[in-house]
Homo-oligomer: A and B are copies of this chain.
């Protein structure tokens, strides 16, 4: 299985330009799973709900069409973030698409900072998607902070966590090592680079997109400031058996009667 990410530097509000920039990076790469950043087509630092609304789409919009076309090139699954509008609510979402169309939609559960002014928190259960033989869990950016997110996805059977992000804090890349170890899963964190100064907010995104192995190894780490693409080969059988030695099985060993 070949999995990877594109790390981009979105131009705020310029969807077509952001699509073009990804087309330039992707060229002829084949990938079973390719993860794009959170809100990769729109940028992140909104200044009003009207602005968020004007950049919103549903699963039949131009971002969906772009990603389905992209999947025709990679021949695999693409996971990428977008501003979703559904029944007059706005969500910070990620769509999961193949060349055949939309496979799923995830609405970010844990909103960070002013996202709470623009978006409704996710109202759909965490879910695992199947593509070929891979079970894929999806979470977005700040979801990493809550160990329950990755844990729930792993208990649902995820082999790999697709993790679109727009990280501004410096902690996530290192935390993903622990997230993968404690659940014996792979993870692909696709972060963005660049900065956005809008109104009183001035965000510097931290780059360093990362592919993390079930054993805590960092299989790929992107630069801090430049767009980047990387793909690595992984073995699914490594994560299907949750034993870590002859005595310990990380799910069976849970003492859930004592957990809150």
Contacts and interface: CB of A to CB of B under 8 A. Distances in A.
A258 to B, nearest CB: 6
Interface string A236-260: 0000000001111010011110111
Q: How large is the interface on A (under 10, 10 to 19, 20 to 34, 35 or more residues)?
A: 35 or more
A181 to B, nearest CB: 6
Residue from A110, A181, A245, A258 having most chain B Cβ neighbours under 10 A: A258
A177 B112 CA distance: 20
Given A171-B216, A182-B146, A250-B145, A152 B113 contact: no
A181 B175 CA distance: 9
Interface stretch (A28-36, A48-56, A118-126): A118-126
Interface string A82-123: 000000000000000000000000000111111110000110
A178 interface: yes
A246 B200 CA distance: 14
B146 A110 contact: no
A146 B109 contact: no
Contact of A109 (B174, B177, B255): B255
A213 B9 CA distance: 33
Nearest to A216: B171
Chain A interface, >50% SS class:
loop
A121 B171 contact: no
B171 A258 contact: no
A232 interface: no
B151 A260 contact: yes
A216 B178 CA distance: 13
Given A125-B258, A255-B110, A174 B177 contact: yes
Interface of A: 109-116, 121-122, 125-126, 142, 145-149, 151-152, 155-156, 171, 174-175, 177-179, 181-182, 216, 245-248, 250, 253-256, 258-260
